[in-house]
Amino acid sequence: MKNMYNMIEPKNLKEVISKEELSLRITEIGAEISDSYNLESVVFIVVLNGSFIFASDLIRAVNIECEVDFIKVTSYSGMKSEGKINFEKDLSTEIAGKNIIIVEDIIDTGNTISFIKEFIDNKNPKSLKIATLLLKPKIAKLDFKIDWVGFEISPEFVVGYGLDYNQKLRNLNAVYRLGGVN
């Protein structure tokens, strides 16, 4: 990998989860979701921007009737959480009385997913479940269950497969630990 966008040297990227591991686990989650909803339809609510690649693969791994909508909130700048959540895009679909699955890229402290869960709960869905690609259990402070977790990881900063560093590196096809960047 040559100098990524003139800011990241290859030595600063260490693969944490391979392309093959991602594919296998997402296929498993897709099968679990399909089994759970068998004859019912689902609305996947994809949390932008980081979840779009995971969501794309996950939605193609299910064999149930589904809809897709998007929500966007931000809480990060660079490698640090700003400590507050900014709402940037609301849903465009009516979700009252429908089965909802929130698709998140990563849950670290849990603040963002807690905010989104409460927001969705207030719209009176029939059911609400959460699928996340990555969970940092050592720092997540949650008072509810995450229904599908792709991988549990340590509390380090990761990029690739939709996850970014200042909007860069999302296009990497695996998940990498990012080091040596301030």
Q: Which residues are catalytic?
A: 108
Q: Rounded CA gap, 107 and 17, in Å?
A: 16
Q: What are the backbone dihedrals phi and psi of residue 44, each rounded to the nearest 5 degrees, phi first?
A: -85, 125
Q: How do beta strands 42-48 and 66-77 pair?
A: parallel
**CA-to-CA dists, residue 10 to 5, 6, 166, angstroms:** 11, 11, 17
Among left, alpha and beta (phi > 0; psi -120 to 50; other), residue 136 is beta
